[in-house]
Amino acid sequence: MDRCKEPLLNNGVKYYENCPGCKVDLRKATQKGYPIKDLSLVALLVLCNSLPISSLFPFLYFMVQDFHIAKTQDIGYYAGYIGSSFMFGRFLTSALWGMAADKYGRKPVMLIGAASVIIFNTLFGMSVNFWMAIATRFLLGSFNGMIGPVKAYASEVCREEHQAFGLSIVGTMWGIGLIIGPALGGFFAQPADKYPSIFSKKSLFGRFPYLLPCLCISVVAVIVFVSTFWLPETLHNHPLESEENSHCDSELGTRSNSIQENNKEETTKTKQVHKKSLLKNWPAMASIIVYCAFSLHEIAYSEIFSLWAVSPKEYGGLSFTSSDVGVVLAITGAGLLIFQLLIFPPMANLVGAILVTRISAVLTIPVLTIYPFFTMLSGVFLWLAINSASLIKNILSISLVTGTFLMLNNAVPQDQRGAANGLAMTAMSLFKTLGPAGGGSLFAWAQKRQNSSFLPGNHMVFFLLNAILVIVVILTFEPFLPQSTDRPHQEDQKDSNTEQQEQRKEQEPPFSS
C-alpha cells in the first residue's frame, strides 16, 4: 500500500500503516487477553534495571571496611555516599532520557540502559578504592535512564482494562529486583572466604571479592540487551494532518466530508492537549510528589535494613552475615512474586490506585515499629519473625510503588508518558540520592546513642522511617491528590467518546483504501 493512502479506519479510529505505535494500537484493538510476550520482555528490562540498585547493600559494609577509610562506627557515613552516587547520576539525566524516549522511541533508551549495566556494574565490582566505587556507580546511574520509558511502555502495550496488570508487572519485577539483587550480593560477595573449595584467594574473585555478584547481574543485562531488539516500538511517528492532506489530495481525490471534519477536530484537540505543559498538570505533579516521598523512605529502608542486620548485637543489630541477609531477601522475593501477579491486579482494579497506595502506607507503619524488638529474639523465632516482617513490608512497599505508577500514567496522555515518567525518575532520584546518605548517617548516629532515654539506638531509626510514611499517607488525600488520578486519562477522548460508543454498533466493518 502506498504511503499516501488514507489510513485504516477501525470503529472511527485512524491507524497509519507505517507507524509502529499505530500497529501496536491496532493489535490491542483486536487482541484478547494479555500481551504475554511483550510483558515478559518488559519484566526482564525492569529486573535488569533494579538488580544493581540495591545489590551492593549486603556487602557495602564490608566493602567500606576493606577500603580502610573509616572506623566501625563511621562505616555508615561512607556506605551512604556510595549508595547515593547511583541515584545522583540518575537525578541529573532521567528527564533527558524521558524526553529522548518521547522523541526517538522507547527502544533506543532501553538498549542504552541495558548496555550501561553491562559496563559500569562490572567495573563497580572491580573497585579497588572508595573513589572508584563512587565514580562507577555515578556513571551507572547517569546512563541507565530506562525505567521511566519502560513504565510508559508497559501501559502502552496493554488494553485499558489490563493496564493495572501491566504496571503490576513493572512493580513486581522492580520489587523482585530490589530483593534478588541484595540476595545475589549476600550469597556471592567474598566468594573466596565463603567457598574456599571453589574460589582461591589468588583467583580473580579472590582479588576482587565483590565482582561475582556484579558479574551475575551483568550476564542478565546481556540477555536483556539482546532480547530488547524483539520489542515492538510504541511511539507514533505518522505525519501531521496538514502535511498528509497536501501530499495525498492528488491521489485520493475527495473523501467523505464528515470524516475530514472529524479528523480536523481530532487534530485540533490533540494539538491542544500536547501544548499543555506537564508542569501545569497538577494530578501528574501530585502523583510524582507522593512517589518521591515514598522513594525517600524506600531507599533509606533498603540500606538501613542491611546495615542493621549485619551490625553487631552490642550496637543493636542482628549480627547476620551477608549470606543471612541474602536468605531473608530471597524468601521475601518468592512471596512478593505470588502476591503481585495474582492478588494486586484485581485489587487495584477494584479499589483504585489511590486507595491501594494509602492502605499500603498505613499498614507499613506498625510493621516497621516492631523491627527494633527483633534483637530480643534468637534462633528459629528470630528467623520466623524477620522473614515474616520483611515479606509483609516488601509486599506493602511494592503495592504502594505500583499504585503511584498507575496514578502517574492515569494523569497524562500517551504522548507525555515518557516525559512524565522521566520527570518522575528525576525527582525520585534526587530523593533517593538523599536517602542512602541520610539513612547511612542516621544509622551511624544511632549506633552512638544506644543508652539514650528517648528512642535509643535503632528505635529512633525506624521511628523516623515511619514519620516519612505518615507524610505519604497525608499526601494521598484531597485536595492535594486529585481523584482523577484513580482512573485512566480521558482528556483526548472526553468530547467524542460518548457519541462514538453509541454509534459503534451501527458502523460499517473496518476497511482499507
- Ordered mean pLDDT values, 10 residues apiece, the chain (513 residues): 47 65 72 76 86 83 82 73 84 82 84 92 91 92 84 76 72 75 83 86 88 92 90 69 45 44 47 58 86 86 82 80 77 69 68 84 92 86 89 84 80 73 76 75 79 82 91 89 69 42 46 40
What is the DSSP code (8-state) at residue 510?
P
Q: How far apart, in whole angstroms, are the C-alpha atoms of residue 476 and residue 359?
A: 10
- Residues 6 or more apart whose CB falls under 8 angstroms from that of 493 comprise none
Please give the pLDDT value at position 10: 52
Tell me what percent of the chain is helix, strand and coil, each rounded to the nearest 5: 75, 0, 20
Q: Give exposure, 362-371, as e/b (b: 16+ Cβ within 10 Å).
A: ebbbebbeeb
3-state secondary structure of 411: helix
Q: Give the phi and the psi of residue 145 in degrees, each rounded to 5.
A: -115, 30
In the chain the first and final C-alpha atoms are separated, in Å, by 8
- Residues 6 or more apart whose CB falls under 8 angstroms from that of 253 comprise none
Residue 300 CB-density burial (10 A; 0-12 exposed, 13-18 middle, 19+ buried): buried
Please give the pLDDT value at position 83: 79
Please give the pLDDT value at position 1: 41
Q: Using H for helix, E for strand and C for coil, what is the string for 47-85?
A: HHHHHHHHCCHHHHHHHHHHHCCCCHHHHHHHHHHHHHH
This model's pTM is above 0.75: no
Q: How far apart, in whole angstroms, are the C-alpha atoms of residue 149 and residue 442?
A: 33
CATH fold of the domain at 35-236+284-486: Growth Hormone; Chain: A; (1.20.1250)
Whose CA is closest to 174, among 287, 274, 294?
294
Which residue ranges make up each domain of the chain?
35-236+284-486
Output the nine-digit C-alpha cell for 495. Answer: 468530547
Whose CA is closest to 170, among 185, 184, 149?
149
Please give the pLDDT value at position 387: 87
Output the nine-digit C-alpha cell for 387. Answer: 522473614
Continuous segment of H or E residues that includes residue 109: helix 106-116
Half-sphere exposure of 284 (CA within 13 A, CB side): 24
Neighbours of 102 (CB within 10 A): 21
Please give the pLDDT value at position 442: 81
